[in-house]
Structure 1
Amino acid sequence: MPDADAAVPAEGGTKTIATLDTSKGKIVIELNPDKSPITVDNFKKYADDKFYDGLIFHRVIKDFMIQGGGLNENMQEQTATYEPIINEAKTSKLSNLKGTIAMARTSDPNSATSQFFINTVDNKFLDPGGSPQNPDGYAVFGMVVEGMEVVAAIESVPTGSKMGYDDVPIDPVLINSVVVEQK
């Protein structure tokens, strides 16, 4: 069973910080390379390549999560530039708690590429074994340390259907940039 406290990165030493500059404000996330090294490295590669710049939060569900990292504001899916990664949900033992960031994926547990989501409530059913439909879980790799009010603002935008996608913000919420650095 995932450790609820494990979502909080360890204190002390150098921290890996991701700053998401969005059209609603900044979200600062402390990444956890000790628990989710493959996932953090993958996210960092996409950020360093500026892959996320100009994309949107394309799936927003109140009292669940906000998801981005795959589509632009014209709802065109961006082709992943790296191979899918191994799902670290079972090995990291990090829980999908409010404020954590996790990798989005298909029904294949090892299909995550660039898309991610931020949990806006505790979603323990997304942890390994959290539900019969989800034996593998979704890999958490960090926690919001500043900007939960921005996450809440994104979560509360009006949504609808657009070009075959549901839960799309009526007015696009842009990801201007994602910068990952050691602090």
Structure 2
Amino acid sequence: MTAKPEDTLILETTQGRVVIAMRPDLAPNHVAHIKKLVGEGFYDGIVFHRVIDGFMAQTGCPDGTGMGGSKYPNLTQEFNAEPHVRGTCSMARAQNPNSANSQFFICFDDSRFLDRQYTVWGKVTEGMENVDKLKRGEPVDDPDKIVSAKMADAA
């Protein structure tokens, strides 16, 4: 799967580059929201605060606790049929289905029990080995972070 440059997110992490093909066809509002945050530098310096071996790596909380979000309102869910498999990028949320904001996670392995309950908005196309290297924990001691997040057409 190759995305257009305007739909390709490049994360430079403390473990190396991760390239994500965004899927506006699946979740147009979520993709637009993430692009807006990326453009504002929101994700630069944000840690991977929750990394569970065999499950997923979560990031996007400005205070590193898993409780924070952006200054913008929460998003209405865009659940879709895309499966939660290795490399899937999906929005984290609270119990309310319409509570996703800035936090997202990348699946290490198949997590099909999440299907149609969380909004899938992209997939890692390059650098999954770097996601695999992220330090584990809930919370993570001395966590890895996103050094910079840019869209390929702005990189």
Q: TM-score, normalized by length of structure 2?
A: 0.90
Say if 1:13 and 1:153 are closer, same or farther in 2 by CA, change over 3 A.
Answer: closer
- CA distance in structure 1 between the aligned counterparts of 2:60 and 2:4, rounded to whole angstroms: 29
Q: Quote the Cα distance in structure 1 between the aligned partners of 2:112 and 2:57.
A: 16
1:15/1:30 contact within 8 Å kept: no
SS state at 1:63 partner: coil
Distance 2:41 2:60 in 1: 11
Q: Name the structure with the higher strand share.
A: 1
SS of residue matched to 1:43: helix
Partner of 2:133: 153
Which letter does structure 1 place at the counterpart of 2:95? S
| 2:96 maps to 1:96 | no
1:58 to 49, 54, 71: 49
Q: Which residue of 1 aligns with 2:146?
A: 175
**8 A contact 2:69–2:101 mirrored in 1:** no
Cα RMSD (Å) of the superposition? 2.1
Whose radius of gyration is greater, 1 or 2? Answer: 1
Paired residue for 2:109, among 121, 129, 140?
121
Structure 2: any 5+ residue segments left out of the alignment? none
Describe the shift of the 1:13–1:80 C-alpha distance in structure 2 as closer, same or farther (beyond 3 A). Answer: closer
Q: 1:58 touches 1:71 (CA, 8 Å); kept in 2? A: no
Letter of the structure 2 residue corresponding to residue 127 of structure 1 = D
1:79–1:126 distance in 2 versus 1, CA, 3 Å? closer
Deviation per CA, 1:28-83: give whole Å up to 9, x if none: 0000111211110111111111111111000000000000000446x596542111
CA spacing shift, 1:59–1:16, aligned 2, 3 Å? same
Show the counterpart of 1:45: 36
Partner of residue 122, structure 2: 142
1:43/1:114 contact within 8 Å kept: yes
- Tell me the TM-score normalised to structure 1 length: 0.77
* CA spacing shift, 1:109–1:25, aligned 2, 3 Å: same
Structure 2 contact 6–151 (Cα < 8 Å) conserved: no
8 Å contact from structure 1 (residues 54, 72) kept in 2: no
The letter of the residue matching 1:82 is: Y
Secondary structure at the aligned position of 1:168 is classed as: coil
1:16, 1:180 within 8 Å by CA — same for their partners in 2?
yes
Instruction: Give the aligned partner of residue 134 of structure 1.
Output: none
After superposition, give the CA deviation of every residue in 1:115-160 in whole Å (9 maximum; x if it has no partner): 00001111110012xxxxxxxx001111100001001101xx243x
Using a 3 Å threshold, how does the CA distance of structure 1 residues 81 and 123 change in structure 2: closer, same or farther?
same
**What is the aligned residue count?**
154
Unpaired runs of at least 5, structure 1: 1-8, 129-136, 160-166
| Percent identity over paired residues | 37
